[in-house]
Amino acid sequence: MPRDQYDAIILGAGAAGLLCAAIAGQRGRRILLVDHADEVGKKILISGGGRCNFTNLHTAPDRYLSANPHFAKSALSRYTAADFIALVDSHRIAWHEKTLGQLFCDGSAKQIVALLLDECARGQVDLALGQSVTDIAHVTDYRVTIGARTVTAPSLVLATGGPSIPKLGATGFAYDVARRFGLKIVEPRPALVPLTLAGDDLLFRDLAGVATPVVARAGKASFHEAALFTHRGLSGPAILQASSYWRHGDAVGIDFLPAATPDWLLALKRTQPRTTLRRALAATIPDRLAEALSDRLAIGELAATTDRRLTDAARTLADWRFHPNGSEGYAKAEVTVGGISTADLSSQTMAARRVPGLYAIGEAVDVTGWLGGYNFQWAWASGWAAAQDV
């Protein structure tokens, strides 16, 4: 095969592109993996606080957002969390479960990048790093111009991710290329992102740094994890999760006392009439938050408060409505919801239905996971599926 002729050119050497290249290379395909960054897997390196939450034991299609909730099923069932764990184990990388099925390296995310590069080397993958793609033409093969070089292949894989965290080199490039080939894009928006507050809600700014376990609700989704007040609004895992389901104009409902029964304040009034709402709350949540909430509800001693008001207060505390005015945007979003429409792709192979030889994998596709290793598992699974077909 001539030097610049490949079986597949993969654009984007992130999680999905690296795994896809390695597996396809190991199937005997001649693969070129291209990235405009001079280093592969930058998001992997910073993921999970530098320890890479590389998969989740509870991976299931219902933990993904997509216009077609069935699309991810095939790939996720053919390349599972257990498959990636076996790969991690074969490289003797020690790992642990932190919480909620989230698996992290004991050491460093660098080990996952080293694993992927090692697997690419086993597949004799050619790497072209620090190279910008200046042109893509498609006649029978794809002709891709990378700097001064033109390479050709019958298959082209879009693995350049979504636009989250532009300072790491993230772009909407995959969407532009997909559009050029007639594929539809489901409107992208930042997800797993802190939400910002304004107006009345700003009073909560005084609580910056306070964290507490809550149930956060947005749309039909709810998440029982920690919420964190910030100088700009709300963050923490429960809020990041809810942000993926949040739309401008929606409220986010927060249950500050997920374990409390609806009549807990009435019951407390009977047993400890002299206690105050603040003291009652401070038994469960941080004192500064207890103070802010009881001030807002304007309730002091329970004995001096009618049963009706206490019942209403318990209801409000179980569904405190915040009205975010926005999010911290792509600069802070861990992922992008939306992307290349699954309606135009095969769920078996990730190939475009009407454009021969074109594939899209990873975050570029309209499949977005929850926080907790689900996004990497989608990157591995979709990359593996395409690797069987290129």
Query: Where along the sequence are the contacts to ligand FDA (CB under 6 A)?
Result: 11-17, 34-37, 42-43, 46-48, 52-53, 133, 159-161, 164-165, 169-171, 173, 334-335, 362-364, 373-376, 379
- Count of CB atoms within 10 A of residue 36's CB? 18
Which of residues 160 and 196 has its CB atom nearest to ligand FDA in the complex? Answer: 160
Sequence-ordered list of residues with C-beta below 8 angstroms from that of 347, at least 6 positions apart, any chain: 70, 71, 72, 73, 74, 75
Which of residues 233 and 373 has its CB atom nearest to ligand FDA in the complex? Answer: 373
What distance in Å separates the CA atoms of residue 302 and residue 294, rounded to the nearest whole number? Answer: 11
In the complex, least distance from residue 102 CB atom to ligand FDA, rounded to whole angstroms: 8
β 335-340/185-191 pair status: antiparallel
In the complex, least distance from residue 332 CB atom to ligand FDA, rounded to whole angstroms: 9
Helix (H, G, I), strand (E, B) or coil at 243: helix
Which of residues 171 and 388 has its CB atom nearest to ligand FDA in the complex? Answer: 171
In the complex, least distance from residue 237 CB atom to ligand FDA, rounded to whole angstroms: 12
Work out the widest C-alpha separation in the chain, in whole angstroms: 87
Element (H, E) at 110: helix 110-122
What distance in Å separates the CA atoms of residue 84 and residue 372, rounded to the nearest whole number? Answer: 15
In the complex, least distance from residue 16 CB atom to ligand FDA, rounded to whole angstroms: 3
Which of residues 80 and 305 has its CB atom nearest to ligand FDA in the complex? Answer: 80
In the complex, least distance from residue 104 CB atom to ligand FDA, rounded to whole angstroms: 8
Which of residues 294 and 327 has its CB atom nearest to ligand FDA in the complex? Answer: 327
In 256-362, at which residue ranges do the beta strands (DSSP E only) sit? Answer: 320-322, 326-327, 335-340, 358-360
In the complex, least distance from residue 327 CB atom to ligand FDA, rounded to whole angstroms: 14
DSSP type of residue 390: -
Which of residues 284 and 347 has its CB atom nearest to ligand FDA in the complex? Answer: 347
Which of residues 14 and 237 has its CB atom nearest to ligand FDA in the complex? Answer: 14
Residue 365 pairs in a beta bridge with: 340
Q: What is the DSSP string of 205-221?
A: GGGTT-EEEEEEEETTE
At 47, the amino acid letter reads S
What distance in Å separates the CA atoms of residue 174 and residue 73, rounded to the nearest whole number? Answer: 22
What distance in Å separates the CA atoms of residue 269 and residue 304, rounded to the nearest whole number? Answer: 9
Which of residues 39 and 118 has its CB atom nearest to ligand FDA in the complex? Answer: 39
In the complex, least distance from residue 229 CB atom to ligand FDA, rounded to whole angstroms: 21
Which of residues 42 and 217 has its CB atom nearest to ligand FDA in the complex? Answer: 42
In the complex, least distance from residue 277 CB atom to ligand FDA, rounded to whole angstroms: 38
Residue nearest ligand FDA, Cβ-based: 14
Q: What is the DSSP string of 55-69?
A: EETT--GGGEE-SST
In the complex, least distance from residue 220 CB atom to ligand FDA, rounded to whole angstroms: 23
Taking alpha carbons only, the member of 60, 49, 52 closest to residue 14 is 52
The phi and psi torsions of 369 (rounded to 5 degrees) equal -90, 165
Torsion over CA of 175, 180, 186 and 188, rounded to 10 degrees?
A: 30
